[in-house]
Chains A and B, each alone.
Chain A
Amino acid sequence: MISDGLKEATKGSTAYHIWMATLTLLMLFGTYAYYQQIVHGLSVTGMTDRVSWGLYISNFTFLVGVAAAAVMLVLPTYILKDIDFSQAVLIGEGLAVAALIMCLAFVTVDMGGPARLWHIIPGIGNLNWPASMLAWDVIVLNGYLFINITIPFYILYHHYLGKKPKKSVYLPGVLISVFWAVGIHLVTAFLYAGLPARPFWNNALLGPRFLASAFAAGPALIILVLAIIRKYTDYYIADKTINKIAMVVTVAAQINLIMLGSELFKEFYSVTHHSSSAIYMFFGIDGKNALVPWIWTSIALNLLATLALTYNRFRRNHTVLFISCAVLFLAIWIDKGMGLIIPGFIPGPWGEIVEYFPTWVEIGVTTGIWALGAFVFSLLVKVAVSIELGKMQYRNRQ
C-alpha cells in the first residue's frame, strides 16, 4: 500500500506538479528562514520581552481551531449515519492531520531550545501534567493527531483492500475523537484564559468563542477544499453535502458574532484598565495603532460573510458561498491571530505599549509551515481520493 500510495502521490497533472513544486520552494524558503533563527536566536523575530509571543503562536492557535473543526463532519457521519457527509469526512480528517502537523511545527519553531524538546517526554523528561495547560495541550494535540491518522487509515486501508471497514473497530475511536476535538480547542483556549496576568485573555468566553470561530473557519475551509476537489477530480461530492456544511458554517459564524458582540460590550460599556488591550486593538493608544487596520478589516469581513451566509438565497449560490467562505476564513484568521494573541501582551503588565511587527524571518517560517501543511494535505487527499474512487486498490495490482 505504501508503494502504491507513493506512486499515486507522485503522479498527476501538470497543475498538480506545479502546485507541489511551489509548495516545496516555499518550504525551502521557510527552512532557510528557520536556519537563520536557529543560528541567531529568536532575536531575528519581531518578538521581545514585552510581546513574547507573535505570529507563530497566533497561527498555532488558529490552526488548532481548524483541526478541531473536523469533528463537525465526523459526528453526523459516523454516529447519526448522515450519509451526506461521508465523502467530506475523510477530507476533514485529512485537514485535521495537516492542521495538527502545522500546529506542532509552529510550536516547535517558537521554542528557544528546540533541541531540548525531549524534556517534555514523560519518563525521560518531566511533563508538568496536570498543572500546566501547555502539558495538557501537548497531550491532547498528539492524541488527536493519532486518532485522526488511525481512523482514516483504517477505513482507507479497508477500502484499498476492497473490504468494508468494521464499525465496531472505528466507531469507539470516532466517539473519542468527537469529545477530543472539543477538548483540544478548549484546552488551547484555557492555555490563555488561565492567565490572570493578561486580562484580555482571562475571560470565560474565550473557550466557547474559540469553538464557535473554529466551527466557522474549519468547515469554511473544507467547503473550499471540496469545491476544488470536485472541480479537479472525478470524486463525486453532492451539492447537498456542501449545502449542509454551509449550514454549519453559517450557524457557527452567527454564534461567533453574538459572542464578539458581548465581548465588545464588556470591554467598552464600562471601560476599565482591563479594557486597555481592546482599546489598543480597536483604536490604538498614544498613536500606536499597528493592529487597528487588521481588526477592523477582520470585523468588516466577518460581518459581510456572515450576512451573506445568513440569506438562504446567497448561501445556495455557490459562487457567493465560496467567496463568503474564503472571506470568513480570512476574517477569523486575523481575529484569532493578530486579534487575540498579540493584544494580550499590549499593554504589558506595567502598562507599557510596545508594538509588535513580524520580521521577514517570521513571515518566511510561517509561510514555510503553511506550505508544509498544504503539501501534507495535498498528498493525503490525493491518495484518499484515489482509493475512494477505486483507482488505487490492492486487487488492481494483481
Chain B
Amino acid sequence: MLFNRKNKVKKNQKADLTFSEEQGKMDNRPANEGVEQVINKPQDRRTAMKGLTAMLLSGAGLLNSSCSLTAGEDEQDLAQLKWEEYFKGNYRLMTPEEKKETVRRLERMYELNNGGKINISDKGPLKDVLYGYAFNISKCRGYMDCINACIKENNQDRNSQMQYIRIHEFENGRMDFAMADDNFYHEVPAAGHFYIGTQCFHCDNPPCVDVCPVKATWKEKDGIVVIDYDWCIGCRYCEAACPYDGRRFNWSDPHVPENELNKDQHYLGNRLRKKGVMEKCTFCIQRTRSGANPACVEACPTGARIFGNLLDPKSSIRWVLENKKVFRLKEDLGTEPKFWYFMD
C-alpha cells in the first residue's frame, strides 16, 4: 500500500512534467490550467476525468473503457495513464525521455489491464544501416509459413485474419497479378505455377507518408516506414495511396489470445494496436533493430527471403543486388521500393 502510494506520487510528478511540456505545445490555452488542477486533486480525479473526458471527447472511446475497470487504486492509476496517453504528442517529435515515458505508461497500462508484463522497446535506428529485402521467385514454393510466423510475431488481429504478407500464385508464362491467386489451398508448388510474395516494400519515396494529414507515418533513418498507432486518426488516405496493398486497417478491436501474445514489443512495431488505426509490416522492427532476421525470413523453409543492410558491402543483400538480375514491382511509379525480386 505504502509502496503504491509512493509510486503514485512519483507518477503525479511525472504527469506534471509531461503536462507542462504538453502545455508549451498547446500554446497555453487557458482551459489547460483548469484541467490540470482538476486532474491533480486526488479525491475526485475520477469523476473529474469522466466529466472532462465526456466533455472533450463527446463520450466516445475513453469513457466506455473507463467504466469497466476494477475499482480502487488501479482504476485511478489507469485513468491517469489513459489521460496522459491521450494527450501525448507525435512519437517522432518526442524527446528520448518522452519516448521512454510513453513506453513505460503503455507497459504499466497493459499490466493493470491484463495482469501480465510486456516489454516495449523504443530502440532507435542503428547508424549506417538501410534495410533491404530480396525475394527469390525461383525458391518460393507457396508454403505460407512466412504468413503464420508474421501473424504470431506481430500480434495481428486473429478475428479478421489480418495478414501483412500475401503469396500470389502465378501460372507459368505471364506475370499478371490480376490473373494470380493470393488465396490458394492445394498442394504446393502446383505444377506449372510460380509464387511471388508481397508485403510493405518500405519505399524510399513512400507515397503513403506524403499523404498522411497528421504525420503519423514516416520513414525512419534505417529506411523502415513506421506508423505511430497512437497518432493515427484512421483516415485511410495512406491505404488509398499505397500501390502495393501494403497497409492494413483495424476495422474493429483487434484480438490476440493472451497465450499467443508476443510480449517482446516495439513502440513502432508489434505492440498491441487498437480499433480505427492503420498498421503494416515494419520489417519486424522489434527484431531487426537488435540484429535478428524478420520473422518471415526466419520462418521461410526455402531460403527464398533475404534481408540485410544495404549499406554494408559485405551483406548478402548487397551480393544479391550486385550479382543477380533483380527487379522491383511497379518501378514506373518512382516509389523506389527497398524490396527486390530475383531468380536463381
Contacts and interface: CB of A to CB of B under 8 A. Distances in A.
Contact of A124 (B27, B234, B251, B333): B27
Contact of A126 (B90, B244, B247): B90
- B contact patch SS: loop
Contacts of B244: 197, 349
B207 A347 contact: no
Contact of B207 (A43, A124, A196, A350): A196
A352 B333 CA distance: 20
A158 to B, nearest CB: 33
Interface stretch (B96-104, B208-216, B308-316): B208-216
Interface residues of B, number: 57
Secondary structure dominating the interface of A: loop
Given A111-B276, A112-B277, A273-B178, A119 B233 contact: yes
Nearest to B229: A113
Contacts of A191: 237
A197 B213 contact: no
Interface residues of A, number: 51
B166 interface: yes
Contact of A132 (B25, B60, B212, B230): B212
Contact of B178 (A42, A133, A347): A347
A63 to B, nearest CB: 17
Contact of B233 (A40, A113, A350, A351): A113
Interface string B163-184: 0001010000000111110100
A120 B245 contact: no
B32 to A, nearest CB: 10
Contact of B236 (A52, A117, A197, A273): A52
Given A43-B252, A126-B90, A276-B178, A197 B243 contact: yes
A350 B240 contact: no
Contacts of B107: none
B339 to A, nearest CB: 14
Interface of A: 38-43, 45, 47-49, 52-53, 107, 110-117, 119-120, 123-128, 131-135, 138, 191, 194-198, 273, 276, 344-345, 347-352
20 contacts: A41-B253, A42-B234, A52-B236, A52-B239, A52-B249, A110-B235, A110-B236, A112-B233, A116-B230, A125-B90, A135-B213, A191-B237, A197-B241, A345-B240, A349-B242, A350-B180, A350-B182, A350-B245, A351-B177, A351-B178
